Structure 1
C-alpha cells in the first residue's frame, strides 16, 4: 500500500482492540484475505464501530425482500452520487460478486439509468437516489411509483434505510479520506 488507509485519524493496532472487534476483524481477514479499511478506520471508536456494523448487518445481511445484489446496487448508486470513492470501489466489488456480473458495478456507478438492470431495479434506484440526494422532496407520488413496481412496504423501508445509512457511511469515508483496499479493484472482474 503506497498511501495510508486514512490520512486524518489514527488507526489502532488490531491486537489493541476489544476482543469482540478484534475477533470480527480477524474473521473478515480469514474470509477475504485482508481487512477492509473501513473496519480499521472505524475501530478507532469501538462503541461507534459496534453500532455502525450492527445496523449495517441488519440492513445488508437480512434474508428475504431485496436480494443481496440489489442491496449492493443501492450502495453503489448512492455512493457514486455522494462521491464516495471508498464505497463505490468496495461495494462495487461486492456487487460484482453477488450479481455474478463483472460489468454491473461500473455501469451503476457511472449511470445506473443506462445499466443492464430491470425496470424494477431502475425504479428502486430512482427512489434510493431521491432518498440520498433530495429526501425532503419525497412525496406520496414517489411511494405510489415504487409500489407500482411491486415493492412491499418492508422493501421500500429497506431501500430508504440503506440509502440513508450509506449517506452517513459515505460522509465518514470522505471525512476520514478512507482509501479503498487495493484488493477490491479486481474482485469479481475475472472468472476464478
Structure 2
C-alpha cells in the first residue's frame, strides 16, 4: 500500500543532516515512521516540521508531561479524523504514560477517559480549538491556569493543537498511512512486540 500520494526520496539522496536524523530514528525505533519518508522530498519543510515537533513535544513541565502532550495530539487528531496521527501518537502516548489503554480511551471519547481533572480541562480546550477555533475564549484559558498550568504551558496547548492540525491535514492530503509497527507499540510487555521493531520506552518515533 503506498505511504503517500507524493514522491518518496531514496535514502541515499537525502541531505547529510536529514540522512543522519533519519538513521538515528530508524536505529532507535527499529523502523522509519512513514511521515519521515513522506516529507523527505521537501527537505526544508522536513527540517522545519521536525524542529517544531521537537520544540513542542520533547520537553517535560509540571503542567504538561511528555505523555500529556501526546494525548493532546491523540484527542485533537481523532477530532480531525487523522488515522496516521491517532495511531502514531497513540503508540507514543502508551509508551510515555506506561498505560496500554489510555490512548484508545482518549481517541474514542476523552471525556470518559480516566484522566486527572487537569487533563480533562486541557483536552476540553484543545478539542474546542481543533473543532471551532473562534469559540475559544480567555475564560477557557483561565481554566487551564486554575488547574496549575503556567502561561508557557497554556501556549503549548494551543501550539500543539495548531501544529498537529497542520499535520492532520497534511496526512489527509498526502494519504500518509501509519506504519504497522505503531499498532502494537506500548500494548505488550517490552520485547513482546512484532520482531521488526518498536520504540524504546520514552522515545518518540514520530518526530
TM-score normalised by structure 2 residue count: 0.89
Equivalent position of 1:47 in the other structure: 44
- Cα deviation, residue 16, structure 1: 0.7
2:61 is matched with which residue: 45, 60, 64?
Answer: 64
Equivalent position of 2:131 in the other structure: 133
Equivalent position of 2:11 in the other structure: 14
Unaligned runs of 5+ in 2: 191-207
Find the aligned partners of 1:5 and 1:139 in 2 and give their Cα distance: 38
Q: Could you say what secondary structure the match of 2:132 adopts?
A: helix
Equivalent position of 2:163 in the other structure: 165
Find the aligned partners of 1:64 and 1:140 in 2 and give their Cα distance: 22
Find the aligned partners of 1:92 and 1:63 in 2 and give their Cα distance: 18
Equivalent position of 2:105 in the other structure: 107
- Cα deviation, residue 63, structure 1: 3.4
Unaligned runs of 5+ in 1: none
Q: Does 1:154 align with 2:152?
A: yes
Pairing 1:67-106 to 2, within 5 Å after superposition: 67-106=65-104
1:143 is matched with which residue: 131, 141, 144?
Answer: 141
Count of matched residue positions in the alignment of Structure 1 and Structure 2: 189
Equivalent position of 1:32 in the other structure: 29
Equivalent position of 2:197 in the other structure: none
Find the aligned partners of 2:101 and 2:175 in 1 and give their Cα distance: 26
Structure ranking higher in helix proportion: 1
Find the aligned partners of 1:165 and 1:190 in 2 and give their Cα distance: 30
- Cα deviation, residue 61, structure 1: 0.6
Find the aligned partners of 2:138 and 2:98 in 1 and give their Cα distance: 35
Preserved CA contact (<8 Å) 2:130 2:162: yes
Find the aligned partners of 1:151 and 1:41 in 2 and give their Cα distance: 35
CA displacement 1:54-85 (0-9 Å, x = unmatched): 11100001232410000000000000000000
Preserved CA contact (<8 Å) 2:102 2:113: yes
